[in-house]
Structure 1
């Protein structure tokens, strides 16, 4: 497909266009990658959006990072020591860490950042609840003293997806509430955010951080040496999904976070394009975010009716992921990951609209209005939303469908307003295994009774199991507890799952060093022939 001159200007001018002077001064043309939805919120602690997480991995750094095998390795840290009873943890920062404003990263910044994150994130809240003391130990050290056993300290500090415990200056972390968007964006990561060139929702620009000192180890997943090999990066949004595919094929852009599903067969046949093969935790799961705060979804039978609407085979086929999907997977914690379990999954193994209709009758549902927020600009969520709408209507739900862009939906999603004041009932969502595979970050388990996320479930039966899981360090016993959590989450329909599939990232073959990890990892990438 050839682009007309006018289409080319739309790509290179509106979505991609950087000031020509800046391009001329760059040693090479910018690395351009297309994200699924527009970036509006720059703060990875206040925002639950993947696009903000993608942005943050360029700008910020983490204490601990996950490698391609799912192992947790020191990143900003030299390492750590633990006491014999594993209640006291001592950490030391590695030398050479500097924020983008030239100030050194200190233990004060770390402690302030962890405290802010710990008041926002599901795992962070649980870790802080088990913490007696979090203090500095000199300029480059800090100590975490637990009040009770907590089996996942390193896993918490190395959490790879929303919300990631990124480190920012203490003045920002201490001066900003967890839900308030930070006004100043300064990290210590491999790229520097150029705010003057930011066009919210359209284009975000970065330059290589010349002060950044990468680790000596090779890049591996999110771990190892974060070597920035391109001088300038542009993260862009293209609402026209077909234009995304054309732009990649013509070399106007280098990388698509999510390739249009309809174009995948042609892309696979194109020798100039590589399609992601990342699996396991890098795979994705469709799900339905339900507002437990408001009727009719405060009734478990109505929530179970939604579960019966979610025919995974039909959903994955309808969204185009039949070839790369796992329709038989009914595990809350993702198939192919550490805590995979089918305990309790019989209830959703063979979903049916007839069963959904029977559950609605049994629940006493009286045709109450259900506000479904439909993300029209998302290549992943728009087609899922269409299938979900069809099946919920056929089951007997009285849907009020309100279509919008994801950024607008995300702002409404976190509010707790009644329906007549902009509230919502149901939102189709998608999460990665990095979010879903760990019970303490899983959207249907880890937020139980925390009151800090939109869906607001609180199941008494889940609480003691989570507490035992938190305290346990033995892998086998943790798996057994996770299986029981799988059962309760499905039984109570906290966060109905709707199909697992491989994320369809795509990039140009001339790129070298691409880390196929399930979401964009921009360091280590360079173009061939340099």
Structure 2
């Protein structure tokens, strides 16, 4: 049921009342930001969700940070030295790093964290496969010795999104398999998680980390000085889109991770609201996660039929992103990023339901049940899912649509059970350029033959190309290889893409120091005048 404006504001006031944290003065009230879906899993290594990544950037810290230009800069590190043959990398931690319990961050913690991350993440697994040994060198140094050339060591350590190689204590990282959530949240980042106040799926509370020692240089994207300037932070979930918009307009929340597209014209006329202009790597890409293990999607022709259902113009318009979308973009690696390419994209340049039906006939599709998990609580995925469902049905797929909240779907998504035991066939998903622009983290390329995610694609030609891409250090040659990887991924329909777009954040104008970089960056901001 749609709320009236007055009902929405009243509900927002009730929702945002926080009796556990009295608000003495306006300047002391928490910074409140609204995320797209509820936070259930707190471990950024075991969870594939953006909301957990957002949580991770408040609580944890990472070795290398990405700046606004896409460059990689030392974060927890003082720097690094590389041998002449580029096979030995020596790193040194900067002084003053401490976990929230006061324990110093040591090289042992770093090595244990990287090994856990490297057993889970797509890039991490590839880096570890090229590693002869990863060892400590005193309490504040560690050494990475490669067994073969690997061209993206710093890019791997600075991976900005799922799964980000955050650092946690060795006693936690070493004791927990990477597919299982850690039981204790202990980071060294700019904010401290208040677990006793956490309401799973609804509200998450943080306080400023008084022990945090930021870098001296100014904040720049995810790099530079992470100065926590607000005393308290609340991360909130609001499933009702109208309520999100009303709460921002009334100043009951400070920041929306995703501004409702229907409200953008209203926001633009409101002098108290700023709308994000982040683009390029900060843009997003719709896609369809396919379970290659489950028939009928073990057949490439059936997967190609899904590709032909993805009319990017119709999907982006249906989701409200007609003016903010790039329907002509058919690059697996995102348009406007260094590896943008159209090599091999001809089959999806002009998708057609008639071709989808023909492919199903050619594949011998016999009306097998297809379980599609539809995220009902996501402002981004619910409208995409509705268009996707309609087009798949029109093409002739026998859909069993199972709607649920994203947190529940995410738990099913990483499992491999048969359909009659809670398994799945298709999931509409969305990723940022931080995930998709690098071939080694791209959902349709980077997980090839890794067997560490449920979608399970494995192509021999792609394996050879990835090995060459990994070892290559020349940027021009890496771009050529990315074009070949794009061609193979589309031919094999590993991860059908469904439209690139800009999903802007929005925030109150009185906020100063906001880093407009595609997802919530909470350090460096403070309240000021209008």
Cα-to-partner distance string for 1:403-441 (whole Å, 9 max, x where unaligned): 000001001111111111111000000000000000000
> By how many angstroms is 1:21 displaced?
4.5
Q: Is the 8 A contact 2:8 2:246 kept in 1?
A: no
Cα-to-partner distance string for 1:340-373 (whole Å, 9 max, x where unaligned): 1100001100000000000000000001111010
Give the direction of change, closer, same or farther, for the CA distance of 1:135–1:26 in structure 2 (3 Å limit).
farther
Q: Is the 8 A contact 2:27 2:527 kept in 1?
A: no
- Give matches, 1:9-408, under 5 Å: 10-14=11-15, 16-24=16-24, 28-408=28-408
Q: Is the 8 A contact 1:66 1:72 kept in 2?
A: yes
Q: Is the 8 A contact 1:26 1:231 kept in 2?
A: no
How far apart, CA to CA, are the structure 1 residues paired with 2:272 and 2:17?
24
How far apart, CA to CA, are the structure 2 residues paired with 1:100 and 1:25?
27
DSSP 3-state at the match of 1:289:
strand
How far apart, CA to CA, are the structure 1 residues paired with 2:502 and 2:239?
22
TM-align CA RMSD: 1.4
How far apart, CA to CA, are the structure 1 residues paired with 2:281 and 2:369?
36
> By how many angstroms is 1:271 displaced?
1.4
Q: Is the 8 A contact 2:319 2:384 kept in 1?
A: yes
Deviates more, 1:379-388 or 1:25-34: 25-34
Give the direction of change, closer, same or farther, for the CA distance of 1:27–1:108 in structure 2 (3 Å limit).
farther
How far apart, CA to CA, are the structure 1 residues paired with 2:251 and 2:422?
42
* Match of residue 466 from structure 1: 466
Cα-to-partner distance string for 1:190-231 (whole Å, 9 max, x where unaligned): 000000110000000000000000001100000000011100
Deviates more, 1:266-275 or 1:61-70: 266-275
How far apart, CA to CA, are the structure 2 residues paired with 1:22 and 1:77?
38
How far apart, CA to CA, are the structure 2 residues paired with 1:177 and 1:49?
18
Q: Is the 8 A contact 2:54 2:519 kept in 1?
A: yes
Give the direction of change, closer, same or farther, for the CA distance of 1:406–1:496 in structure 2 (3 Å limit).
same
How far apart, CA to CA, are the structure 1 residues paired with 2:241 and 2:9?
15
Matched residue count? 528
> By how many angstroms is 1:249 displaced?
0.7
> By how many angstroms is 1:24 displaced?
4.1
How far apart, CA to CA, are the structure 1 residues paired with 2:317 and 2:523?
34
Cα-to-partner distance string for 1:231-274 (whole Å, 9 max, x where unaligned): 00000000111100010011110000011111111112211111
Q: Is the 8 A contact 1:135 1:144 kept in 2?
A: yes
> By how many angstroms is 1:181 displaced?
0.4
How far apart, CA to CA, are the structure 2 residues paired with 1:338 and 1:63?
23
Cα-to-partner distance string for 1:82-104 (whole Å, 9 max, x where unaligned): 00000000000000101000000
How far apart, CA to CA, are the structure 2 residues paired with 1:396 and 1:273?
45
How far apart, CA to CA, are the structure 1 residues paired with 2:514 and 2:27?
20
* Match of residue 421 from structure 2: 421
* Match of residue 482 from structure 1: 482
How far apart, CA to CA, are the structure 1 residues paired with 2:33 and 2:424?
32
Give the direction of change, closer, same or farther, for the CA distance of 1:529–1:26 in structure 2 (3 Å limit).
closer
How far apart, CA to CA, are the structure 2 residues paired with 1:227 and 1:300?
49
> By how many angstroms is 1:25 displaced?
9.4
Cα-to-partner distance string for 1:98-129 (whole Å, 9 max, x where unaligned): 10000000000000000000000000000000
Q: Is the 8 A contact 1:221 1:515 kept in 2?
A: yes
* Match of residue 503 from structure 2: 503
Q: Is the 8 A contact 2:9 2:246 kept in 1?
A: no
Q: Is the 8 A contact 1:27 1:231 kept in 2?
A: no
Q: Please, which runs of 5 or more residues in structure 2 have no aligned partner?
A: none
